[in-house]
Amino acid sequence: MEAEPLGARAAASALATHTIEIDMVELRRRGGEASTSGRRDADAGIARAAAALAAGDVVAIPTETVYGLAANALSASAVGKVYAAKGRPADNPLIIHISSLAMLASLYPAGWSLPPVYEAVVKDLWPGPLTILLPRSALVSDAVTCGLPTMAVRMPAHPVALALIAACGFPLAAPSANSSGRPSPTLARHVLADLGGRIPLILDGGPCTCGVESTVLDALRSPPAILRPGGVTSEQLLPYPGLEGLQVYRRDFVDEALEAAPSTPGMKYRHYSPVAPVWLLDPGAAPAAGSGGAAGAARGAGAAGAGADADELLAARLQRGVAALLAELAAADAAVAAELSGAAAASAGRGAEAAASGGLAPAAAVAAGLAPGHASEEQQQQAGAGRAGGRVGVLRTSMEGLQPGPQAEPAQEPVAARPGAQALGPHAPAHGEAPAHQRAAPHLEYVLAHVSQPAEVASQLFAGLRYMDEQGVATIVVEGLRDEGVGAAVMNRLRKAASRVVPV
């Protein structure tokens, strides 16, 4: 059973949510530091946000990973507003954000200092998308750590976040600024869509460049482990002294106690989920290298980092997988339509007989086309009964040379033009129609980036999922990536969001 959110959702009564656009050109020109004059627009927005945070309020802020919902990490009441606004379970800890190593040192327990295993990592990779686990400070609210003996800390690389934390003079606790469980926000308008009326202020610092949350590194345990993959990869961390035996959670080990009481966000609950169900084409779930002809060769070559040829083979497998799923959805739609059409005709016939004999047909059943023997509720759901136009959203990683974002026309040719493409579980076609395996469900496409560009895919991922929800699609089909580098973070998020995983 999930824990109740900390603080009733009703406590976050409707507010007027204001968005302040920060002049990023001016802020970057000054190296991310707020000026002392207070005359510039960027400074005014940061000063307003700092005042709100000092007063115990919450503010949505940009970081290089995703937008965060920030509160004073040293105030239990302020942190409680984060949980209430998001509807976040009370046993899901928060990450503390700092602006300097001096602020980090102020949080150390008495007599403690940063161990060597962290020193080089922090020196090289902060500011950046890396969170480290440390012994908990007595200054930090229980609401931040959920009563655990560790705290998660990072220094963000976004100039607005750094300037704001420095202006506050205290660390900020900040999970993603979305409704709990939804795709993380990478634009200010994503925050407004989820939390408008529930928080007072959003600082708009433009799109997030990383696009997935930070990597969480626990080097207090032996061997050290990545508890959540993110913007810093395991490959980047392995060369550091003390991290030679680095493990990745779920890939290399699992821990039931850690699952029950996670020391970092993103481990226990379902996350990153749009309204529409997600069907994931997963290269990581396919047969091992060498076990599937060209597909197996592609996997083996990819694992060895073979480059462009392996990328092309993987892209082809993903395209075939999309074609098969679109054909499956079209076939299921056709089957349900045929069931309902036949049922409606039968009901109409019974109605005519009843009228002739003075009886009355059940109008609701006739109107709905429902009667014994009709398509089951499960069949209707599978086929997308009640979908907005029956559309499917496809997030692409197989199309090279296209600009990321929504596509005016599908990038892949119709299923009928692809030899060998057929539905998974074909149905008989309706009279006068092409066979089901030669039809594709109507669909929209959004290019994330190519499989050879996992960092670019990461930066577009949540925007793509949210776009498909905005378009009202019924199902989202996502082409995955290899489970390596930043691709590991992308696949971690997609597997958590997916209701169906299809090996390719």
DSSP result, 72-88: ETT-HHHHHHHHHHHT-
pLDDT of residue 25: 83
- Complete DSSP assignment for 390-427: T-EEEEESS-TTPPSEE-SS-SSPPGGGSTT---SS--
Q: How many angstroms separate the Cα of 384 from the Cα of each of 333, 334, 344, 380?
A: 7, 11, 19, 6
- CATH C-level class of 9-208: alpha beta
Q: pTM (2 decimals)?
A: 0.80
pLDDT digits (tens, 9 = 90+) for 137-166: 999 989 999 999 999 999 999 999 999 999
Side-by-side strand order, sheet with 278-282 = 405-406, 443-447, 392-396, 475-479, 278-282, 500-503
Give the type of residue at 487. Answer: G
Percent of the chain topping pLDDT 90: 63
pLDDT digits (tens, 9 = 90+) for 173-213: 999 999 998 999 999 999 999 999 999 999 999 999 999 99
- Residue 463: phi, psi to the nearest 5? -65, -40
- Complete DSSP assignment for 109-129: PTT----HHHHHHHHHH-SSS
Side-by-side strand order, sheet with 225-228 = 18-21, 201-204, 59-61, 68-72, 172-173, 95-97, 150-154, 130-135, 215-218, 225-228, 247-248
pLDDT of residue 440: 65
Supply 220's token pair: 């207090």
CA distance 391 to 467: 13
The segment with the largest mean pLDDT, out of 6-15, 287-296, 445-454, is 445-454
Average pLDDT of span 10-19 = 71
Where exactly are the structural domains of the chain? 9-208, 308-350+377-503
Helix (H) or strand (E) holding 478: strand 475-479
pLDDT of residue 351: 56
CA distance 301 to 482: 11
